[in-house]
Structures are given as C-alpha cells and as structure tokens.
Chains A and B, each alone.
Chain A
Amino acid sequence: MDPSLGDLNSALSTGTTIIGVTYNGGVVLGADSRTSTGMYVANRASDKITQLTDNVYLCRSGSAADTQIISDYVRYYLHQHTIQLGQPATVKVAANLVRLLAYNNKNMLQAGLIVGGWDKYEGGKIYGVPLGGTILEQPFAIGGSGSSYLYGFFDQAWREGMTQEEAEQLVVKAVSLAIARDGASGGVVRTVTINSEGVARKFYPGDSLPLWHEELEAHESLLDILSTSNPEPMDS
C-alpha cells in the first residue's frame, strides 16, 4: 500500500498542541490547526478552540469525534444551566461538566481537554482534564502530542502575573516550538484571549511564526535567490 496515503482507516485524531495560560486579568488559550488521519493531514486549518459559553472556551486534543461530541453535550448542558441560573456560568462549573463526561466514559473516550475562561467570581481560570477524567486547576496547562516538547520550555519561561501581551507571546512561541518538532502538530497558531472585556480571537499564519533551529526563511522560488546572489551560485 502506498505509504503516503497512510492508513485511511485510523481514527481521525487531533494530534495536537494545546495550551491554556492565566495572566493578570484573564486567560489565553492557544492551539495548532492540524488534524490527521494516520499520515495524511485531513484538515490543515482546523479550529481546536471551541466555544462552550460566551465566557468559557475548550481546547481539544485526542480523538476529534470524541472531543466534538463532548463539547456539544457540555455546551447544551451549560445553556440550560445559564437559563436556570439567570447569569453566566462559572468556569469551574463548565470544567466539572467536562470532567463528568470524561470520567464516567473513561473506557470509551480518548480526549485530553483544557477548559479556560473568565467569570466575575474567580477571574481568569484554567482547568486541565487529561485522559481518565482527572480535573486539575492550574496556572497554566499544556496538552496534546506536541506538549511533550514544551514541558522544559514552560519550566523555564513561565512566570506568575504576566501581562496580556506577554501571555499571548508566550503561547504563540510555545505552539510554534511544538509545531517545529511534533509531526502531528502544524498549520497556523490560533489564540483566544478571554477577560472581563470579552473574547478576542487571533490568527498567526505559519509563515508569520519565528524560525527555529535548522529552519530557513521562505522564498517564492530559487530563481529569486539566484538573481540576487553572485554569478556562480549553483555548487557542484
């Protein structure tokens, strides 16, 4: 079988990098945009940061089908909860609803999730819900296959009480580093910033990201390079 076709029967998964970071005033969620079936990139511009309510978003990693259905259920429950409560749901409630589904169906699901948002009681909060359905409130969370490459980076670069700009730059840098080394992550970097003022979505296309080790600046064509350099550019 042609290796480039990959295994078209393997589960559609978000081999991914997802990140959630708190800062003084809110949270920044970030993710790559690659969805793969085996070796083939099924979607190179997917959106892995999904809205649950006006003020709470979910970063999805693992099986695309599993995480999509979990988001749909939690959005539905939160909608009803908001009506009954008469005010926006808290991030904690959203995270616990995610946990209930993840824990009670642990044998059937492959979903690593990061819940992030802002509410008037606790401000910006991030909750990690890894495989198995554990729930852990954290100042920052990383997940997906690309996160393996970021543990050391965050150990060194994370600080408490960053500004919004610092937090956003940290997230973009981190996702970009993970994309550089994780074959299952790629495409664009998407961020969602949530604070008391609302929600802001940002988009960083692949060619606008910094270059890392052994990566080269992009060109339209070799011909552009040849014309600007010396007359004997082609080495034997």
Chain B
Amino acid sequence: MENSSYSLLSSEADSQRTLYPYVTGTSVIGIKYKDGILMVADMGGSYGSTLRYKSVERMKPVGKHSLIGASGEISDFQEILRYLDELTLNDSMWDDGNSLGPKEVHNYLTRVMYNRRNKFNPLWNSLVLGGVKNGQKYLGTVNMIGVHYEDNHVATGFGNHLARPILRDEWHENLSFEDGVKLLEKCMRVLLYRDRSAVNKLQIAKITDEGVTISQPYSLKTFWNFSAFQNPTVGAEGSW
C-alpha cells in the first residue's frame, strides 16, 4: 500500500513550482553617473523565439528613491511590482517621515528571491535595482537564484556578456548625463546586433535626488555599411 512517507524526493506539495518562463524580457543595464543612476531596457516581451510584444515597460519606479528593471518572465515581474506596492504602502502608512531607500528595497527583493529559490519555486527574473537617497547613489542586482551584489555598473542576461566589457573599459566616475546616455546606447546597439531577443524600441530611465524619469520609447539607428558586408563571399567562390 502506498503512503506518503516514501516521497522524500518529491514533496506532496509538488504542484507549485515554476518550471519554465513563457513571456520574457531581455537585458537590463544600469550605471552610476554624476547625478545618480541611469538604466536602460528595451520594450520587448518575447514568447519563445517569437518577438511577440513590443511595448512592455520593463522599468518601473519604486517609492520615491528607487527604480527597478527586470528581465525574465514578465508575469513574475508584474507580481514583484505588486509585492513592492504593498511594501511601499505599508512603509508610508507608518507616516514617520522616513521612506525606504534603494538599499533596503534591494535587500527586500533579495530575501524574496532567495526564499522562493529555496522552495524550488523561483520568480524567474533577473532584477536591477538603482536609486539615490540623500545624495548616496546605489546600484544593485539580484537574480532568480538569489545571487545579489552591488557595483558601479550592472547588467542582466546577454548584457553581462556584451555590455559589461564595454562598461569596464569606458565607464568612469562622474560621467555626465549625456556621456552616460551615449555609453548605454552604445551597449544597447551591440545588443541589438547580437541578441536575438532584442527589439529596437527602448527606454532610458534616470534617477537622481530629485526623482525618477523614464524616457518616451525610441529607436536606435544601426550601421550596416561596411564594405565587407556588401559582398562577403567575393574572392572565396562557394563560401558563405
């Protein structure tokens, strides 16, 4: 006769575990600059290999001092935004003049993500959390397995492989807003060329002591006019 005592490997409450993502967002990149944080993400929501949704806002303000950007499963990001709504609501209900800073929000998210990972039911996201409070800039990241850290520049997904090397080379302390934007656009253009799930419609967000602004959606120009692109197989008949 079967009984539950032999099910050590699979728990009875096995029904709740996220197996795989469906609608996903790709890279998010964040950098510190002179006045605060700059963050960028495209507006794509992929459905497997189909570029299904092209107006998904993957960056949102959190409270007065922070900005969250997410890659991975969009439904889980939408749920995280609901958790953050509850967090900021409860924080403001204290009515004590204090408000959660980016470091605290990042820590809260880290606990949420890590605890879900321990239950084998992760929120399938990689998050970037940036903000400024009382002149102090903060930029951190946390992913679906709970790995978290802060740095002067962070990225998720493909951005880690393609954007961060550029940032390691060209980022410096006290970037101006214009230089920061150009640097992020350089990274996003590379991602557009090389990441299959990238779409050419992006938003850049800025957070400073004054608050959060997220730009309107816009597209980047791309360059295809290399002579080597014109006739790549000339001189090597039968090549590809």
Q: Could you list which residues of chain A lie within 8 angstroms of chain B, going by C-beta atoms?
A: 103, 106-108, 128, 130-136, 138, 148, 151
Contact = CB atoms under 8 A, between A and B. Distances in A.
Interface stretch (B10-18, B111-119, B190-198): B10-18
A136 B21 contact: no
B80 to A, nearest CB: 12
- Per DSSP, chain B at the interface is mixed
> What 8 A-B pairs are tightest by C-beta distance, nearest first?
A132-B22, A134-B75, A133-B75, A134-B74, A131-B22, A132-B75, A134-B23, A103-B75
Contacts of B53: 128, 136, 138
A136 B73 contact: no
Nearest to A142: B52
A138 B56 CA distance: 10
B19 interface: yes
Contacts of B74: 132, 134, 136
B102 interface: no
16 contacts: A103-B78, A103-B79, A106-B18, A106-B75, A107-B15, A107-B18, A108-B15, A128-B53, A130-B22, A130-B23, A132-B22, A132-B23, A132-B74, A134-B78, A135-B78, A151-B52
A134 B80 CA distance: 12
A132 B15 contact: no
Interface residues of B, number: 20
Interface in B16-55: 16-19, 21-23, 45, 47, 50, 52-53, 55
Given A106-B75, A131-B22, A136 B56 contact: yes
- Per DSSP, chain A at the interface is loop
B95 to A, nearest CB: 29
Q: Which of A103, A108, A136, A151 counts the most B-chain CB atoms under 10 A from its CB?
A: A136
A151 B47 CA distance: 13
Nearest to B53: A136
A134 B17 contact: no
Given A106-B75, A148-B50, A151-B50, A134 B16 contact: no
A132 B20 CA distance: 9
A107 B22 contact: no
Contacts of A151: 50, 52
A144 to B, nearest CB: 13
A148 B73 CA distance: 21
Q: Which of A107, A134, A148 counts the most B-chain CB atoms under 10 A from its CB?
A: A134
Contacts of A135: 75, 78
B50 A136 contact: no
Contacts of B15: 107-108
Interface in B52-68: 52-53, 55-56
A133 B75 CA distance: 6
Contacts of B56: 136
A134 B58 CA distance: 13
A53 to B, nearest CB: 24
A151 B53 CA distance: 10
A134 B22 contact: yes
Contacts of A103: 75, 78-79
A134 B45 contact: yes
Given A106-B18, A136-B56, A130 B47 contact: yes
Contacts of B22: 130-132, 134
Contacts of A131: 22-23
Contacts of A130: 22-23, 47, 52
B73 A107 contact: no
A135 B53 CA distance: 11
Contact of A132 (B16, B21, B50): B21
A103 to B, nearest CB: 5
B43 to A, nearest CB: 11
B16 to A, nearest CB: 7
Contacts of B52: 130, 151
